[in-house]
Structure 1
Amino acid sequence: MFRFTDLLRRRRAPVPGPVGTRLGTDDGFRAVVDARASIHPSGTSHRVEWWIGGEDRWYAPAVEAAVRQDRPGPAPVLVTRMRVAGGDGVATTWATLASGSSGAAVVVELLNETPVPVAVAVTVQAAPGGAIRRISVDGRRLLVDGGTALVVDREPGRYAIVDAAADLWETVTGGRAVIAAPEPVRCRIGAAAGALVVPLPHRSALRFAVPAGDLVDNPSAVFPSAERVTAGWVGHLADAATVDLPDQSLAATTHRNLVDLMLADPTPAGAVELCRWGLPRRAVECLLHSDGPPGDRLVAAAWLWMLGREPGWFTGTDGIQLEDLARSAGDAPTARWALARMSDLFAALGDARAAVDAGRLVEVGGPPELVATDPAATPLGHLADRLARTSVDGLDLLVDVPDSWLGGGIELHGLATPHGRLGFAIRWHGERPALLWELERHDDGPVVLRVPGLDTAFSTVEAIGEVLLAAPAGRVPPPRPSSGPVPGSPPGASSGPPIAPPPEGGSFS
């Protein structure tokens, strides 16, 4: 029988997803934490929040003005502070895998920095556009529609679960939460909600988890600390390219964007940036799991080959399947460009016929543009192009040097380019910049290096070297201490600090 509500449901406009910081683990678990500390697990219809009952009233991050959120480093670990009477409630939030078989979860450690005890209500409510039709209490857990939505690390002092006839906030803040675990609640329109209320002494912490699966263990016993998770992400970035710029905020966001890109939905453009910034295995995984158009995936495969020159990425059942990509992409200009770039890959794989056929392809236009759909990929691509852009016969370094960079040190290590891994540094001697560089070339062919943003007359085909460039025409850097001895000058020619040595092994790449 036709129902008017069915028509409304079909015509309902899609609800945009939550906006915030994406957290996740290597097994694919993802969640978004918004600026007000609400947790939105991916693939669910609920959200989790925490409220604090102080001496004077109840506080919720969603409505309080005095809420500050910080991400101290590149790792996806957030610290949210909310001002309450007498001090702060501080929530540290991260995603991690539990020991044993407990699976992944978002973990929150909430510290009471006030000098008095408070009450903490950890709540589960329907996300925008979502629905909760059944909610129940099981000891330290809140169950939503048959799954575990929330686990706290101690027995709650009170409980509150409601349907559409009551408001969860009014129930908790009005003192109507009950001591005994209530019976399950069902709600046909999906407006059920619940809270576990826990007393929290002063200067102590509560830990709770928002799990991906059916967690029954105590969150304080099975999940690693935020410090261990941060150390793990530092390990993931150990081989990534690094950059030091006069604009410290821009440099600091590079590894943060790489982490965000690793946690983002995989795309061909994201795979290229991961490879360019020194994470090729992550790039291959990203491309293998991306569902972009076949032409885009083939173009990305060509970029991965040009940047890394590793035939092993394209072999075996877990490698990039070029034949399938080429067949799916057809004879579009983007496919012809990509295949022409991979003629030497086919030769390396022992397919002489494919190598010859690819080498004969006539290209139309320049490199196809891969549109970055993730906000982390775009700034990574823009910064890489500013530092080293491919030219007709080589690489143009520092194409765009803003006035604010003049006189400041610049250092890059490990950026992948179509000609090899690149590292360089800029040190200033008065108005003149000194360039130190090293290019680990893919082959012995000449690569012309230029620095158009500083000295348009300079060019070289040397893979390693240092040179004192001319002063930028018409641009005067602000007065700063000398950066070290002038290349080629006798010892003691400069009174400034010495040029910092390159990283391990004396390489600037």
Structure 2
Amino acid sequence: MSARTWLVRRLLGRLRIDDDTIRHLSTFQRLGEHLEIQAPGEMLPIGARTVFRALRTRAASQTGTDWVWPYWLRRQIDPSSPAFVPRGHLPFLSNVTSRNWTMIGNRGSAREAVVDPRGLVSPWHDAWSLDWWIGAEDRWHVPADEANVRQSLLGDSPVVETRMRVPGGDIVHRAYVIQATAADGGEELVIVEIENDSAVPVALALAIRPYNAEGLAVIERIGLHDTTVTVDGRVAMLLPKPPNAVAASTFHDGDCATQVFAGETQTSFPADLRDEAGMAQAAFVYPLPHRQTLRVALPLAPDPRTRLVGRARKRVRDAPRFPQALPSAEQVANGWKTHTDQGMRLVLPDERLQSAVDANRRYLLLFHDGTDVTPGPRTYNRFWFRDAAYLLAALDRYGFHTEAREVLASFPERQHTDGFFFSQRLEWDANGAAIWALAHHWDLTRDRELLDEVVTSVAGGVQWIDRKRRGKRRDDPALRGLLPAGISAEHLGPHDYFYWDDFWALAGLRDGARMLRAAGEDEAADRAAAFLESMTADVRASMALTADRLGTKAVPAGPRRRIDPGVIGSLAAVWPLQLLGADDEAMQATLDVVRDRFCIDEAFYQGISHTGLGTYLTLQVAFVELLAGDRRALDRLDWFLSAATPTWTWPEAIHPRVAGGCMGDGHHGWAAAELLSFVRTMLVHETRDGLALASMIPTSWYGQGVEVHDAPTRFGLLSFAIRWHGERPAILWELEPHDPDVAVVLTCPGLDPTWRSTEARGEALLDAPPDAPAPAAVPGPDQGDSFE
């Protein structure tokens, strides 16, 4: 027994925790492999926040039965709701049925606000939210309780519109983010506007609430200073004029909503509203005549908390006034359209898919946070190389090279002196992911300046991979030459040896060799190629031994695992890494296992960690099917679109029965990136010697036009359009090649598998697809049509 183990046992013993209980803890790690180094401390802040927030949420909600709680919480504690979750002996309560939200923000900013499905706006991370209640002719209407609430995007942009029906018409809530003018302080502001689109006047209560879409928040103090609202000494809301009435309360005095709904509001705000339980709340009431709009502004960047009265007063004095000039929601939506009128643009016959693509192109720019790219605005608002690889690839595929480059240029600063690209300890896929993302950017942009900046880091990263896999001798032949046990993507399971890590490492060695060769570092490129050859042999030998042990060629999550849902990770060898073809025997066996054992209808069910229908994991299956020419890929795309929120967002995993988010960030960047990459791969896909255009499209598109403009590819910038002559498609294309001396073979396997061309520009009338119905004749392209 180690000294540390002895000390822990002694400490727990003094707390009257007996040895049988300690055994639960001591054997927990043995469910996976023993870690060669200590567990990653980077995850402790996230874990601690989640646990303590869930503990507090459980405690408050079980006694605050008369409170107005957020949409997700009201459903989880209501025994008549299908989303009801019994708590039993567990002291925790967390959102596991409606982890759905939509981020709003400014391009290039590192901060985002989120809006829940009922219009609850949370401007700061893990903090208070702004709710809205409407006093109509019949009663007060609370969006979290009402059935007739609809949400959408304005112009497929990050402007969220939530409509609630009341007698006489709709009340419309909109939320978006602006950059205030210099005259108005220049701050980023969340604008919340409420429009009375009904035929009668209503009362509007804007409520500061001590919770958000993940759980309870802490509010100890609220103040009103003329038209400035403060929360814990920080400027929280700018009002256009003083409210007509106010209500405020603490947890022990009850919810201020009770005062509002009973008509017992006050005309003046309490001078010193404090709540030691951290559940202070307040409401500010205004009349809202019909066809009128009221706007408030919430600073997006909070000041540090302060208990110093003098500092809080100074902040109020220095706070910007309510902006004199505010852009409308329509103007902001139009601004986003202008922002994204660059890069790869698509014109699709499917309106649903078109909206999803347009919205997520804009969201992609919000996931980009300067030198960071993060897979979520809340739960996952931090940098990981794994998630970054998928997001950066989507940015580059859609032509947002400046944003991708800004993040990629920071990679050398994230690298340790030993060559490890660090974002989390035990993240052994990080080096492969970092090098793969750098190489992908090089392939699409030929950015020589960035190549020269990162080539030393690439060489160090390649060396690290080879040293790390050889660092400790292992007696088990199935482990020899593999990376150590670690903590990888959570959907793979507890700490273990993962083929996922090895596949990413192989891709890093392959792509590192290419980048080093392109940079003129031939000796380093030769070493990387030798490392690749050696590790490839070791991985193949391990897979063969594992196949013999299991009696199947399906590749489990790791060499010591059985076939479980973590098998999904092995498909990364096909997509996105393309180490193996979709027709590879082991990958086909793996795909068959996934479809036969771990899918519910078209969706992949991840029983490890996520315990829900995987969003980007379902697309992982679809990608392999797409590359194999299996049209079941389109069925999975259809499921994915059907599973979206009305604002075209996805959580990490979806509750199989109530269809709400049950895991991860409620607006998940990996899922958004994979949708965009999947559509791009349907329409434009690199092959060994060229480009496959329209490799798979739905038959419902036959007879309708498709356009792809300015698609970055490994061979150059491509544009093409599909038109129809009766049942025969015609294709027009234009390629601006990286290297004019290299012949690029263009094919169109989804429409006419026999067609090929090496011309950089042209048009062709293809044979009718074998499964095409005879559509009504439509005009074909005129001779000489071009993309200008």
Which residue of structure 2 lines up, in the alignment, with residue 153 of structure 1? Answer: 240
2:735 is the alignment partner of 1:439: yes
Cα shift at 1:315: 5.3
2:174 is the alignment partner of 1:92: yes
Q: CA RMSD in A?
A: 3.1
CA 1:289–1:219 in structure 2 vs 1: closer, same or farther (change >3 Å)?
Answer: farther
Contact kept in structure 1, 2:399 and 2:712, CA below 8 Å: yes
Contact kept in structure 1, 2:719 and 2:787, CA below 8 Å: no
Residue type of the partner of 1:242? R
User: Using the alignment, how far apart are the partners of 1:500 and 1:131 within structure 2?
Assistant: 65
User: Using the alignment, how far apart are the partners of 1:126 and 1:251 within structure 2?
Assistant: 38
Alignment of 1:206-217 (within 5 A): 206-212=294-300, 213=302, 216-217=319-320
2:395 is the alignment partner of 1:271: no
Q: Percent identity?
A: 35
Aligned length: 486
**SS of residue paired to 2:681:** helix
- CA deviation profile, 1:150-174 (whole Å, cap 9, x unmatched): 2221111111111012112111111
CA 1:362–1:326 in structure 2 vs 1: closer, same or farther (change >3 Å)?
Answer: closer
**SS of residue paired to 1:376:** helix
User: Using the alignment, how far apart are the partners of 2:462 and 2:445 within structure 1?
Assistant: 20
Structure 1 window deviating more from structure 2 (453-462 vs 7-16): it is: 7-16
Query: Equivalent of 1:380, from 676, 692, 699?
Result: 676
Structure 1 window deviating more from structure 2 (372-381 vs 460-469): it is: 372-381
Residue type of the partner of 2:235? T
Alignment of 1:322-361 (within 5 A): 322=458, 326=462, 332-347=505-520, 351=521, 353-354=523-524
Contact kept in structure 1, 2:409 and 2:453, CA below 8 Å: no
2:361 is the alignment partner of 1:240: no
Which residue of structure 2 lines up, in the alignment, with residue 490 of structure 1? Answer: none
CA 1:447–1:55 in structure 2 vs 1: closer, same or farther (change >3 Å)?
Answer: same
Contact kept in structure 2, 1:268 and 1:287, CA below 8 Å: no
Which residue of structure 2 lines up, in the alignment, with residue 124 of structure 1? Answer: 208
Which residue of structure 2 lines up, in the alignment, with residue 492 of structure 1? Answer: none
Contact kept in structure 2, 1:398 and 1:454, CA below 8 Å: yes
Structure 1 window deviating more from structure 2 (408-417 vs 140-149): it is: 140-149
CA 1:226–1:329 in structure 2 vs 1: closer, same or farther (change >3 Å)?
Answer: farther
Structure 1 window deviating more from structure 2 (11-20 vs 447-456): it is: 11-20
Which residue of structure 2 lines up, in the alignment, with residue 369 of structure 1? Answer: 576
User: Using the alignment, how far apart are the partners of 1:225 and 1:313 within structure 2?
Assistant: 39
User: Using the alignment, how far apart are the partners of 1:321 and 1:77 within structure 2?
Assistant: 40
Which residue of structure 1 lines up, in the alignment, with residue 274 of structure 2? Answer: 186
User: Using the alignment, how far apart are the partners of 2:175 and 2:402 within structure 1?
Assistant: 28
Cα shift at 1:14: 7.9
Alignment of 1:281-296 (within 5 A): 281-287=402-408, 291=423, 293-296=430-433
Contact kept in structure 2, 1:149 and 1:211, CA below 8 Å: yes
2:370 is the alignment partner of 1:249: no
Residue type of the partner of 2:299? P
User: Using the alignment, how far apart are the partners of 1:153 and 1:133 within structure 2?
Assistant: 25
Which residue of structure 1 lines up, in the alignment, with residue 753 of structure 2? Answer: 456
Which residue of structure 1 lines up, in the alignment, with residue 777 of structure 2? Answer: 481
Higher relative contact order (CA 8 A, sep 6+): 2
Cα shift at 1:67: 1.6
Structure 2 regions of 5+ residues with no counterpart? 1-13, 16-50, 57-89, 304-315, 368-373, 376-387, 412-422, 425-429, 468-504, 541-572, 578-615, 618-668
Which residue of structure 2 lines up, in the alignment, with residue 298 of structure 1? Answer: 435
Which residue of structure 1 lines up, in the alignment, with residue 120 of structure 2? Answer: 38
Structure 1 regions of 5+ residues with no counterpart? 486-497, 505-509
CA 1:28–1:244 in structure 2 vs 1: closer, same or farther (change >3 Å)?
Answer: same
User: Using the alignment, how far apart are the partners of 2:514 and 2:346 within structure 1?
Assistant: 28
Cα shift at 1:413: 1.0
**SS of residue paired to 1:342:** helix
User: Using the alignment, how far apart are the partners of 2:352 and 2:672 within structure 1?
Assistant: 15
Cα shift at 1:470: 1.3
CA 1:359–1:309 in structure 2 vs 1: closer, same or farther (change >3 Å)?
Answer: farther
Cα shift at 1:286: 4.2
Residue type of the partner of 1:387? L
Cα shift at 1:41: 2.2
Structure 1 window deviating more from structure 2 (391-400 vs 325-334): it is: 325-334
User: Using the alignment, how far apart are the partners of 2:270 and 2:171 within structure 1?
Assistant: 28
Q: TM-score of the superposition, structure 1-length normalised?
A: 0.86
Contact kept in structure 2, 1:98 and 1:224, CA below 8 Å: no
Which residue of structure 2 lines up, in the alignment, with residue 23 of structure 1? Answer: 104
User: Using the alignment, how far apart are the partners of 2:332 and 2:109 within structure 1?
Assistant: 14
Cα shift at 1:9: 5.3
Cα shift at 1:404: 0.9
**SS of residue paired to 1:181:** coil
User: Using the alignment, how far apart are the partners of 1:244 and 1:448 within structure 2?
Assistant: 24
User: Using the alignment, how far apart are the partners of 1:74 and 1:99 within structure 2?
Assistant: 25
**SS of residue paired to 2:678:** helix
Contact kept in structure 2, 1:315 and 1:321, CA below 8 Å: no
User: Using the alignment, how far apart are the partners of 1:47 and 1:500 within structure 2?
Assistant: 57
Cα shift at 1:330: 5.3
User: Using the alignment, how far apart are the partners of 2:675 and 2:55 within structure 1?
Assistant: 39
Q: Between Structure 1 and Structure 2, which shows a larger proportion of strand residues?
A: 1
Cα shift at 1:391: 1.7
